[in-house]
Chain A
Amino acid sequence: MKHIISLLMENEAGALSRVAGLFSARAYNIESLTVAPTEDPTLSRMTIVTSGSDQVIEQIIKQLNKLIDVVKVLDLNDGKFIERELMLVKVKATGAFREEMKRMCDIFRGRIIDVADGSFTIELTGSGTKLDAFIESLDKAAILETVRTGASGIGRGDRILKV
């Protein structure tokens, strides 16, 4: 099963490579990983999307906790949470495609952020599944380029990850 794991770690050189190294050394899946400093500049917040059996996920959480730089780990799937990802898609916008793309963008509540003679660049945020659905619904021939940030996640209500 897919899990989204959030963690807070010391914002120190090499911290990211410790996490990435752990996943490769122990052959854990890693679908996406995002990291940036938090409002407290000494801490980084990381969101890792991974998958595995319950036993593997339990080990991943334990192994992450074992890293000396890791302050806190939370498996967002243990409760209610919100997942968001940003995607930029450059699509063909010539002839009939021009109207079609505008319409699709509206349906998915995206925004066209760059307009050129033959193309649009669309910005879309949402869960991973929503972004997948958007790509699915586009004519393959129309997609020129895509870039995704990987998921960020946060607990709902008073589920707070903080030191």
Chain B
Amino acid sequence: MTNPNITGAEILIRCINEEKVKFVFGYPGGAVLHIYDEIYKQNGFKHILVRHEQAAVHAADAYSRATGDVGVALVTSGPGATNAVTGIATAYMDSIPLVIISGQVPVPAIGMDAFQEVDMVGITRPCVKHNFLVKDVKDIAATMKKAFYIAASGRPGPVVVDIPKDITAHFAEYFYPKTVEMRSYNPVLKGHSGQIKKAVKLLLEAKRPMIYTGGGLVLGDGTEELIKLARTLNYPVTNTLMGLGGYPATDKQFLGMLGMHGTYEANMAMQNCDVLIAVGARFDDRVIGNPENFLSQPRTIIHIDVDPSSISKRVKVDVPIVGHVQSVLREMNEILSSDIMANEKKQSNISSWWKQIDEWRNVKSMVYQNSSTVIKPQYVIEKLWEVTKGDAYITSDVGQHQMWAAQYYKFDKPRRWINSGGLGTMGVGLPYAMGCQFADKNAQVACVTGEGSIQMNIQELSTCAQYGLPIKVIMLNNRYLGMVRQWQEFFYENRYSESYMDSLPDFVKLAESYGHVGMKITNPADVEGALKEAFAKKDKFVFMDFITDQDENVFPMIANGKGLSEMILGNDHIAREED
């Protein structure tokens, strides 16, 4: 029995529906017209029309970060495809599973410098997990199956499927494979049990233990197992910027975020521990600073990661465990619950280590000087946390506001903190908020942004209006490219070269022109009330323009190339201001 032949475009749509995709974020154009015609006729997934292809990929990316499902975007050839590249690279750096379908010129036109032709497979090669150019209609279904499988398995990442226009018009029989077999791709899932035992033993013998977790713990849904492990052992935990929410921030064992703008206690504990267990984290330059300084202190390192190439890349590891974080942690917990050593451990203690940590905590590195005349950005985030009861999806753009959001919003759940950690892409905030709101339509979603970043995808205010997304934009408006200005203040003797944001629009009017609510807040006393008012508007998009202190800096800070123990603390700075 054979199926009737259908077009490549229809095959593609059926494949997407077969994967139970709920939303496809896209933008039409010549090369994908056959596909859009089939979208018109189908009633499976919902297509979300963005206002720029970059935003389509960011929204799909955030949808995936919030739900764990593969995000899907659809763009046309040439400029549509190149517009998508920033979004793809952003997802790649943070290991987010996406399938991006791009149109391509017809096969006979490839290489002829045809209208709207770019070598999408060539352009995206260094920023995708894998990519495909489909040159035969019979290959569409199998390629889509592989694309979803590759994107989601192992260390996740974006996969591009580039489809020439003529292929979407050709006919073939539809057959969607149930499984994928690839001799060249078999990601390791289970960790080596000998290594896992060794790791548990080392952990139990530790005098100054430290648990350091990253985005891999969140993406690998390992939070529950990690909490169990940390609680059983009563060991301190820190999260990277990407890993926030991986361990509840309000828990007493949590030392805060580590790294360039991390807490004093997290960085000092990281530097001075004797046994370090890294879970789905990769010792990157923003986290451990200068590796030589980090290695000057001896310690034993256990590293759990699904990607073998992340292990011993920047820092040599003593006990590598390649595997899915959730399953490896579960195995560790099983050993711990059965092992007599664990019981012994409960008797023995690491109280002197905790005492040391408490001393570091007392340094109170996360303080700022509040004011009654000018709004402090940190204060806005603190109030945001209170008003949303710590239960919102918080997306952010890139800059000072991002760091303040990470420092002052206490994330108790994974998949709630959505930001571009790896690529640091300004402009993600608003499309990220869209992705989150589609993922969870009744949730509170706030986009913490700056007046610089928001303007990099501001056109999406229109998309938000079209789909009635009740997002709250929390704009910390310091009239500067703040993070750039901060570096110029510290390292370029206050020469504020091109870091000033001039000719800003009236954001309230701008928001209102799209039918949104706009609010401008200039007085610290109004911050809390305004936030409450905004979040009470459950079905409205509210754009909040907070006019904040222009000169505020992010502290603590580790300068480029410096080590974890060489932090610049805000206290010193505040003391100086008071003189």
Contact = CB atoms under 8 A, between A and B. Distances in A.
To the question of whether A and B form a pair in one complex, the answer is yes
Contact of B184 (A13, A58, A70): A70
Interface residues of B, number: 18
B178 interface: no
A69 B184 contact: yes
A135 to B, nearest CB: 36
A162 to B, nearest CB: 12
Given A14-B121, A25-B126, A55-B312, A66 B307 contact: yes
B184 A71 contact: yes
B183 A68 contact: no
Contacts of B133: 13-14
Interface in A92-120: none
B40 interface: no
B312 A21 contact: no
B35 to A, nearest CB: 23
Interface string A64-84: 011011110000000000000
A9 interface: yes
Interface string A47-74: 0000000010011001101101111000
A137 interface: no
A9 B184 contact: yes
Interface string B308-320: 1100110010000
Contact of A163 (B130, B183, B307): B183
Contact of A68 (B130, B312, B313): B130
B261 to A, nearest CB: 28
Contact of B125 (A9, A21, A70): A21
Contacts of B309: 59, 62-63, 65-66
Nearest to A68: B130
Contact of A21 (B126, B150, B307, B316): B126
Contacts of B125: 14, 17-18, 21
Interface string A1-20: 00000000110011001100
B555 to A, nearest CB: 34
B196 to A, nearest CB: 20
A55 to B, nearest CB: 7
B153 to A, nearest CB: 11
B52 interface: no
B307 A10 contact: no
A17 to B, nearest CB: 7
B111 interface: no
Contact of A17 (B122, B129, B150, B312): B122
B121 A68 contact: no
A68 B308 contact: no
Contact of A59 (B150, B184, B313): B313
Contacts of A14: 121, 125, 133
B115 interface: no
A128 to B, nearest CB: 28
Given A55-B312, A63-B309, A71 B126 contact: no
A58 B312 contact: yes
Nearest to B308: A62
A66 B311 CA distance: 13
A68 B129 contact: yes
B59 to A, nearest CB: 26
A71 B122 contact: no
A71 B182 CA distance: 9
B185 interface: yes
Given A17-B125, A70-B184, 6 more contacts: A10-B184, A14-B125, A21-B126, A68-B129, A68-B182, A68-B184
Interface of A: 9-10, 13-14, 17-18, 21, 25, 55, 58-59, 62-63, 65-66, 68-71, 163
18 contacts: A9-B184, A13-B133, A17-B122, A21-B126, A25-B126, A58-B312, A59-B309, A59-B313, A63-B309, A65-B309, A66-B308, A66-B309, A68-B150, A68-B182, A68-B184, A68-B185, A71-B183, A71-B184
Report, nearest first, the 3 A-B pairs whose CB atoms are least far apart.
A62-B309, A68-B130, A71-B184
